[in-house]
């Protein structure tokens, strides 16, 4: 697969571009292709996750497609996602893989400022109008206005449930419009012996999703972002109010929420043991890997309105993409692969491998999306403001070490909320300026 000689592969690039040349967007990529020197050499790619995961297999398929197109061999290795994140700075200072799946937001920008990531603004330009202005904005590092990640996919955080379960219970989650509706739904599910609001927070980050959305619903997007950046106080009664509402959900959660992580939550839903689950839609890949019927049964709705002033105008929708290591052996190759990931060909390869993500590139025809993906777009479409999720919207030494344990303590002892929030604020105040 790797030893295609350069002449042939270049021809196939031109051929591919010529065929696509009828479309306007593809014409743009043809121009970009002409202006650039051919990139060669092996590319090393880190997949976050286990190779047995459905998502990892899709990663490999995209990399294979890149090899088929360019003749550049891609050596993929899968690394446990948490380990990769935790050791990121060390890995990037050594001899890292050239490119890797990564997340837009703080995790990209702070590391770019430290010189660990390669500038991919050129590749973003080459992808041109296929990326929406909002996506480029989301991928841009505010410090220098450059991009260090090629955004490829995104997903909404919303209430997930199984259509069949709700039908059996005679419930209609599509019509939950208010907080009271949600509570009633949870009550009704629980009465039938199911978990009302599936929660797993052993990982320490999962409950952030619920916190984010309630804060955005009650206090609005701007307050939420300001709070995460130290411009508002955690001891504010508005924040206390968020926790008061969260506490109302605790009785409907599975009792072992500190025993299971997000995947335990997913299994609760998969095994029809739970009604609703607040989660990012990325896990749908696992439903599809289980069976098409399970996947077809999965549905998502937006978290209900809690304050008329803000309606449902905000959502957590993290941008995922591919970043390039500054210290890799072949950063050019890495950047080229990253660009491929963001291009139509890359997306086609992912879709062919069964990916259920929604893509940022407008090169991808959204009319081919399945019903679930169209619903994801609909949920996203209702929001004006996009958050990236708590651990990407605030600094890393605050999200994991401070907010994570605080949410766990809160779930354990909801009555301690005042003390917990006071401590969170104290720890924010103690953080050194970046």
423 binds other proteins per the rule CB under 8 A: yes
Residue 111 CA to residue 200 CA, distance in Å, equals: 29
The nearest distance, CB 407 to other proteins, in angstroms, is 10
Q: State the angle between helix axes of 331-342 and 54-70 in degrees (0 to 180), rounded to the nearest 10.
A: 110
For other proteins, which is the closer residue by CB, 15 or 255? 255
Contact residues for 308 (Cβ-Cβ < 8 A; gap 6+):
none
Distances (CA, A) of 173 to 196, 241, 304: 12, 24, 10
Nearest Cα neighbor of 20 from 59, 62, 69, 60 is 69
Closer of 138 and 264 to other proteins (Cβ): 264
Nearer to other proteins, 362 or 409 (CB): 409
* Helices and strands in the chain, H and E counts: 22, 12
Our finding on whether 230 is near other proteins (CB under 8 A) is no
Beta bridge partners of 140: 147
Reading the block at residue 99, the tokens are: 């490119």
From the list 100, 197, 257, 262, which residue makes contact with other proteins (rule: CB under 8 A)?
257
Residues in contact with 137: Cβ distance below 8 Å, sequence separation at least 6, in sequence order? none
Choosing from 204, 209, 220, 334, the residue that interacts with other proteins (CB under 8 A) is: 204
Among 1, 22, 24, 430, binds other proteins (CB under 8 A): 430
Q: Return d(Cα 358, Cα 349) in angstroms, integer.
A: 14
Applying CB under 8 A, among 173, 404, 410, 417 the residue interacting with other proteins is 404
Does residue number 116 form part of the binding site for other proteins (CB under 8 A)?
Answer: yes
Q: How far is the CB of 430 from other proteins (least distance, A)?
A: 4
Q: Does the footprint of other proteins cover residue 85 (CB under 8 A)?
A: yes
Q: Are 63 and 74 in contact (CB under 8 A)?
A: yes
Residue 143 is a binding residue for other proteins (CB under 8 A): no
CB 252 within 8 A of CB 186: yes
Please identify, using beta-carbon distances, which residue of 69 and 395 lies nearer to other proteins.
395
Minimal distance in Å, beta carbon 263 to other proteins?
Answer: 9
Binding to other proteins by residue 325, rule CB under 8 A?
Answer: no
Question: Based on CB atoms, which residue is closest to other proteins, 195 or 239?
Answer: 195
DSSP code string of 299-349: EEEPPPBS-TTTTT-EEE--EEEEEEBTTSS-HHHHHHHHHHHHSHHHHHH
- Rule CB under 8 A: say whether 133 interacts with other proteins: no
Cross-sheet strand order for the sheet of 43-48: 74-79, 43-48, 99-103, 319-324, 150-154, 358-359
Q: Binding residues for other proteins, how many (CB under 8 A)?
A: 49
Asked if 218 and 274 touch (Cβ cutoff 8 Å), the reply is no
Q: Does 196 bind other proteins (CB under 8 A)?
A: no
Contact between 129 and other proteins per CB under 8 A: no
Within 338-397, which residues bind other proteins (CB under 8 A)? 395-397
Q: Where are the alpha helices (DSSP H) in 71-176?
A: 81-86, 88-93, 106-113, 121-127, 133-139, 163-169
* Nearer to other proteins (CB atom), residue 137 or residue 256: 256
Which residue's CB is nearer to other proteins, number 92 or number 227?
A: 92
- Binding other proteins (rule: CB under 8 A), the pick from 161, 179, 205, 388 is 205
The residue among 248 and 327 lying less far from other proteins, judged by its C-beta, is 327
Q: Which of residues 260-279 bind other proteins (CB under 8 A)?
A: 260, 264, 267-268, 271, 273-274
The least CB distance from residue 362 to other proteins, in Å, is 34
**Cβ-contact 406, 201 below 8 angstroms:** no
Whose Cβ is closer to other proteins: residue 33's or residue 396's?
396
CB 208 within 8 A of CB 390: yes
Task: Tell whether residue 258 is a contact of other proteins (CB under 8 A).
Answer: yes
305 φ, ψ to 5°? -70, 145
> Which range in 41-49, 166-174, 345-353, 400-408 contacts other proteins by CB under 8 A?
400-408
Of 202 and 329, the one with the shorter C-beta distance to other proteins is 202
Three-state secondary structure call for residue 105: coil
Query: Does the footprint of other proteins cover residue 243 (CB under 8 A)?
Result: no
Told to check if 431 binds other proteins by CB under 8 A, we report yes
Q: How far apart are CA 117 and CA 334, in angstroms?
A: 11
The residues of the shown chain that bind other proteins, judged by CB under 8 A, are 82, 85-90, 93, 110, 114-116, 194-195, 202-205, 254-260, 264, 267-268, 271, 273-274, 395-397, 400-401, 404-405, 408-409, 412, 423, 426-427, 429-432, 434
């Amino acid at each position: 697969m790797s030893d295609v000689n350069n002449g042939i592969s270049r021809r196939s690039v031109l051929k591919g571009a010529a065929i696509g040349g009828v479309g306007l967007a593809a014409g743009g990529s043809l121009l970009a292709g002409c202006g650039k020197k051919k990139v060669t050499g092996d590319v090393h790619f880190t997949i976050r996750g286990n190779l047995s995961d459905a998502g990892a297999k899709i990663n490999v398929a995209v990399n294979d497609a890149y090899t088929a197109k360019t003749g550049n061999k891609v050596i993929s290795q899968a690394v446990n996602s948490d380990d990769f994140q935790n050791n990121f700075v060390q890995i990037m200072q050594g001899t890292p893989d050239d490119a890797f799946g990564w997340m837009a937001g703080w995790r990209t920008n702070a590391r770019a400022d430290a010189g660990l990531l390669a500038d991919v603004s050129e590749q973003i330009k080459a992808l041109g109008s296929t990326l929406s202005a909002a996506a480029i904005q989301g991928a841009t590092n505010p410090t220098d206005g450059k991009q260090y990640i090629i955004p490829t996919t995104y997903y909404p955080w919303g209430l997930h449930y199984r259509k069949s379960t709700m039908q059996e219970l005679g419930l209609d989650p599509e019509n939950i419009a208010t907080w009271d509706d949600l509570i009633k739904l949870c009550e009704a599910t629980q009465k039938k012996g199911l978990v009302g609001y599936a929660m797993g927070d052993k990982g320490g980050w999962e409950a952030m999703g619920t916190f984010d959305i309630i804060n955005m619903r009650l206090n609005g997007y701007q307050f939420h972002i300001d709070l995460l950046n130290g411009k508002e106080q955690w001891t504010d009664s508005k924040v206390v109010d968020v926790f008061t509402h969260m506490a109302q959900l605790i009785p409907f959660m599975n009792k072992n929420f500190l025993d299971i992580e997000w995947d335990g939550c997913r299994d609760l839903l998969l095994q029809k043991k739970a009604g609703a689950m607040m989660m990012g839609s990325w896990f749908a890949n696992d439903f599809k890997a289980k069976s098409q019927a399970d996947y077809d049964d999965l549905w998502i709705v937006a978290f209900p309105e809690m304050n008329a002033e803000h309606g449902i105008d905000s959502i957590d929708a993290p941008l995922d993409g591919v970043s390039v290591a500054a210290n890799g052996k072949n950063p050019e190759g890495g950047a080229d692969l990253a660009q491929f990931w963001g291009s139509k060909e890359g997306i086609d390869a992912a879709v062919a491998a069964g990916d259920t993500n929604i893509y940022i590139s407008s090169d991808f025809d959204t009319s081919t999306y399945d019903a679930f993906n169209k619903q994801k777009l609909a949920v996203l479409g209702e929001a004006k403001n996009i958050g990236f999720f708590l651990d990407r919207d605030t600094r890393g030494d605050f999200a994991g070490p401070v907010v994570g344990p605080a949410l766990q303590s809160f779930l354990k002892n909801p009555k301690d909320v005042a003390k917990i929030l006071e401590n969170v604020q104290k720890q924010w105040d103690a953080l050194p300026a970046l």
